[in-house]
Amino acid sequence: MKNYTKFQILLLVVFFCFVPFATHATKQLPTIPLHQSIAPTKNYVEGEIIVKYKNTSQKEIQSLNFLSLPQQLKKDVTLKNQFKNIHIAVIKSQTKSTNDLLRELQNNPNIEYAEPNYIKIATFVPNDPYFTDNQWAHDIDDPDNDTDIDSTDAWNIESNTAQSTTLAVIDSGVDYDFNDLVTNMWDGSSNCLSDTGVSITCPNHGWDYADDDNDPDDTQGHGTYVSSIFGAITNNSIGMSGISRYNSVKIMALKFNLDVSSEIRAINFAKNNGAKVINASFSGESYSQAEKDVIDSFPGVFVTASGNGGNDEVGDNNDDIHQYPCNYSSVNIICVGAYTDNGDLATFSNYGESVDIAAPGTDILGIQNQDYYLGNGTSFASPFVAGTAALLYAHKPTASITTIKDTLLKSSNHTTNLKKISCSRRLNLNNALQNMINNIIPTEQCNNPIYRFWSKKNKSHFYTSSEEEKNHIIATYPEYTWKYEGIAYYTPNDTAPGVVPVYRFWSKKNKGHFYTASEEEKNYVISHYDDYIWKYEGIAYYAYPSYASNLNPVYRFWSKKNKHHFYTASEEEKNLVISKYDDYVWKYEGIAWYIPKN
């Protein structure tokens, strides 16, 4: 048996710890008819208008007298359709434009409204037989539970002239000859460079850095599964669909040896051969400066899985137990968690502020051992995001890493089901592609976690929005001095409309902090107390000063006994404190400020 290093064993555990496949999709489904149409040059039928008429007799409608048109125009206009029960008629002209007809009918007292006969474009549905019943992530069949990534909407605006983009998959290899992948494989046979920049022969769509040869065939299955999620051939009447309607995203297969050394070689190969995106569905707890340096050097987007919380199927907080590459500070990294078809964070998915976005990760269709399966794992969420990044590059090949990353992340849906993920983001392919085509990077209003500590020594609480400060306190002080209690609540960022600052004071005398969202109270404390009693430390975070239906209150208490304030967003905790303690210990002072509902 091969001897693995400690780091390799760690990678093995996390790399292959996707949740076992749920179902074997072997049933042959009927072919789905293709529904598509060529996009019209106008979004309405030229020469036709729809009018809703008022109190008009049938005789007037049939003769079109109610339109009050000029005699020469009246001869040209015909009644195409009439819907008597709703008082609507469709009028058609052979010579006059829609705009001309609308101008003629302006201010007509017999008409309630007139509008063009707008065209609807049939939604593209691929003819891949497993698409409808097995790929909920693209188009979920539940109007009351819209948790898919809106792929079918994106496919209606995807350009068939977009450039092909190469997405490198660093994994266990790819079954590149499989009929639902073969034409979407990257072709480097005419021009291929090694990881050191030397010209080499690459007939098999990538390189094997486990065995150091040019055949990255998948001997384990994980890499093929990952690749098929974004790279399966769409609309070929076989199996499943990939991320692109026009198959613009190509798979570069890079097999590695589950160690940093072969990973570095694979990243350099991807860089030297023009890959725009890398998918890395693996992680480990060991920080490697070499790994970070080579990721930093990659001139594209590096997408990685957040991890599955070990083998117990319970996700970990990556902010506490770091996972790499997810937790590197590299500007090109996007770290991906997994959510279920009902929109909840998957139980196995790692989470935290270091996890940038969540994508579908349960019952995900993929290819393994030349067949189709359903499986779970953040390994299978990551390629949805990587494929989206590649599709954005296909439409804007010269876009910067920042533009691609910001467009993808800030075009997300934001849902409280995913409040353990940074900015509660959920991938939306359609929003991202639409914004990329229109050169729009949305303004994003993210809620920030407020971390809470308790000092048994000082009988006081401390709150901070700074992850750096939180980590410093955890690393520096024993729990008797400052014990970390978790996230107290979430607050808006400073750009959210209507927010006010929450000011922070420190009392050297009483060894505790005080917070207020009142400018008047802040100024009073500064003017009436010296720094030994209450020293002003600046703005702690932001909150809302008054009630709205989408907000929750933060309650404030004062302890005359301990000379400290206490704040909570939990009504249950507020009521417990009021019922359990007298006013000398904790006196309820009312609502301090308001925060977004979670």
pLDDT exceeds 60 at position 241? yes
Residue 37, in any domain of the structure: no
Do residue 254 and residue 195 come from a single domain? Answer: yes
Domain that includes residue 587, residue range: 447-596
Residue 473, in any domain of the structure: yes
Do residue 54 and residue 176 come from a single domain? Answer: no
- pLDDT 10s digits, 382-435: 999 999 999 999 999 999 999 999 999 999 998 878 888 988 899 999 999 999
Q: Identify the domain boundary among 83, 118, 153.
A: 118
Residue 217, in any domain of the structure: yes
- pLDDT 10s digits, 515-533: 999 999 999 999 999 999 9
Q: How confident is the model at residue 38 (pLDDT cuts 50, 70, 90)?
A: very low
Do residue 204 and residue 327 come from a single domain? Answer: yes
The mean predicted confidence, pLDDT, of the chain is 87
Q: How confident is the model at residue 43 (pLDDT cuts 50, 70, 90)?
A: low
Do residue 425 and residue 508 come from a single domain? Answer: no
Lowest mean pLDDT, pick from 99-103, 229-233, 522-526? 99-103
pLDDT exceeds 70 at position 122? no
Number of structural domains the chain divides into: 3
- pLDDT 10s digits, 270-320: 999 999 999 999 988 889 999 999 999 999 999 999 999 855 567 888 888
Residue 124, in any domain of the structure: no
Lowest mean pLDDT, pick from 31-35, 53-57, 382-386? 31-35
574 in Cβ contact with 555 (< 8 Å):
yes
Do residue 178 and residue 69 come from a single domain? Answer: no
Question: Above pLDDT 70, what percent of the chain?
Answer: 90
Do residue 269 and residue 368 come from a single domain? Answer: yes
* CATH value at residue 217: 3.40.50.200
Q: How confident is the model at residue 121 (pLDDT cuts 50, 70, 90)?
A: low
Do residue 338 and residue 454 come from a single domain? Answer: no
Do residue 213 and residue 319 come from a single domain? Answer: yes
317 in Cβ contact with 303 (< 8 Å):
no
Q: Identify the domain boundary among 92, 118, 144.
A: 118
Please report which helix (H) or strand (E) contains residue 426, including its range: strand 425-426
Burial of 287 (0-12, 13-18, 19+ CB in 10 A): exposed
Residue 442, in any domain of the structure: no
**pLDDT score of 337:** 96
**At 512, is the secondary structure helix, strand, or coil?**
strand
* CATH value at residue 99: 3.30.70.80
Average pLDDT of the residues in 583-590: 96
Average pLDDT of the residues in 96-119: 81
Do residue 534 and residue 504 come from a single domain? Answer: yes
Return the structure tokens found at 444.
């994003």
Lowest mean pLDDT, pick from 42-56, 287-301, 476-490? 42-56
CB environment 452-484: b (16+ within 10 A), e (fewer): bbbbeebbbbbbbbeeeebeebeeeeeeeebbb
Q: Identify the domain boundary among 378, 412, 437.
A: 437
Residue 129, in any domain of the structure: no
Residue 188, in any domain of the structure: yes
Do residue 231 and residue 305 come from a single domain? Answer: yes
Do residue 344 and residue 486 come from a single domain? Answer: no
- pLDDT 10s digits, 448-475: 889 999 999 999 999 999 988 999 999 9
pLDDT exceeds 50 at position 82? yes
- pLDDT 10s digits, 328-369: 999 999 999 999 999 999 999 999 889 999 999 999 999 999
Residue 125, in any domain of the structure: no
Do residue 324 and residue 236 come from a single domain? Answer: yes
Question: Above pLDDT 90, what percent of the chain?
Answer: 65
